Amino acid sequence: MSKILDNIPSLPVAELVENVMDWLTDSFSSLFDFVQKSGKSSMESITDLLVMIPPVVFILVIALIAFLATKRKFGLAIFSIVGLFFIYNQGLWEELMNTITLVIFASIIAIIVGVPFGILMAKSQIAEQIIKPILDFMQTMPGFVYLIPAVAFFGIGVVPGVFASVIFALPPTVRFTNLGIRQVPRELVEAADSYGSTGWQKLFKVELPLAKSTIMAGINQTVLLSLSMVVIASMIGAPGLGREVLSALQRAQVGNGFVAGLSLVIFAIIIDRLTQSFNKKKAQ
């Protein structure tokens, strides 16, 4: 049996993928160049704007947002002040701003793309059967693999980092949007139909408001997954705290790597608690 299997020629999957990538790169090179240049310019502008804000002001604003978002509880606000001051004290403030820019762009793009696809899955059984295996593929494929097409399309820098982050972080928003809309009580949907609501009215006035809590949970996961790609994206030139972790790894600098990693953890906790508090506030 093994001899029969050995005689079967290997499928030219790698060659096929290479040919498709070459065709895409050649056919849409102008589009990729435009996206790369405009995206890089936009993200550098956002980063420069964030860097211009005095760190003390930035820290206090985040602390105020945390204080208000948690119903005037001091826990997250104090943690934000101490954590962000620690990052500033370690000389990683500009790297933090670069990381924030990458996470913001990747998360916004993933949400803009993910929510409509989640709605489509909820409204169409055929669409769900087509999109669900694609999401499974996107979630199980190692994150490093996404760096290959990102570099092929956009070269080295922050834009391919955002591209890879979007692909990696997109599935939770799509899945949770689909789940949230499908969990809306059927009685309420039928009541909306009985009042003569159009499809758009039913979606925006009944289904999305009731599914908001579930959708926000998916957005929370998307933001955190975008942040988790920071270190991986640094391998293709994306700036930020991930680059500091990668540099420490390459030079075997345990202390610097720990500080950069701890800074990422602090930022991740702040982002996670803020998005969760917004979700609880909306759900009430």
Q: How confident is the model at residue 280 (pLDDT cuts 50, 70, 90)?
A: low
Check residue 7 and give its pLDDT.
Answer: 67
Distance CA 169, CA 106 (A): 8
User: Residue 62's closest CA among 205, 216, 266, 217?
Assistant: 266
Check residue 61 and give its pLDDT.
Answer: 92
Question: 122 and 182 in contact (C-beta within 8 Å)?
Answer: yes
Check residue 283 and give its pLDDT.
Answer: 47
Give just the sign of the alpha carbon dihedral 131, 137, 142, 148. Answer: negative
User: Residue 119's closest CA among 209, 192, 188, 179?
Assistant: 179
**pLDDT tens by residue, 119-174:** 999 888 898 899 899 988 888 887 778 788 888 887 888 888 888 888 888 999 99
Domain ranges of the chain: 26-283
Give just the sign of the alpha carbon dihedral 154, 157, 162, 167. Answer: positive
Write down how long the chain is.
Answer: 284
Tokens 């759900």 map to which residue? 283
Check residue 8 and give its pLDDT.
Answer: 66
Q: How confident is the model at residue 193 (pLDDT cuts 50, 70, 90)?
A: confident
Torsion angle of the four alpha carbons 64, 65, 66, 67, in this order, in degrees rounded to the nearest 10: 50
Q: How confident is the model at residue 86 (pLDDT cuts 50, 70, 90)?
A: very high
Q: Using a pLDDT cut of 90, give the percent of the chain over it.
A: 18
pLDDT tops 80 at residue 270: yes
Q: How confident is the model at residue 2 (pLDDT cuts 50, 70, 90)?
A: low
**3-state SS, residue 88:** helix
Mean pLDDT across the stretch 49-73? Answer: 88
Distance CA 84, CA 59 (A): 6
Check residue 231 and give its pLDDT.
Answer: 78
Q: What is the fold, at CATH topology level, of the domain defined by 26-283?
A: MetI-like fold (1.10.3720)
Question: 59 and 77 in contact (C-beta within 8 Å)?
Answer: no
Mean pLDDT across the stretch 172-186? Answer: 90
Q: What is the largest CA-CA distance in the chain?
A: 71
Q: Alpha carbon of 25 to those of 17, 107, 162, 168, 230: distances in Å?
A: 12, 25, 18, 21, 25
User: Residue 172's closest CA among 209, 227, 231, 123?
Assistant: 227
Q: How confident is the model at residue 85 (pLDDT cuts 50, 70, 90)?
A: very high
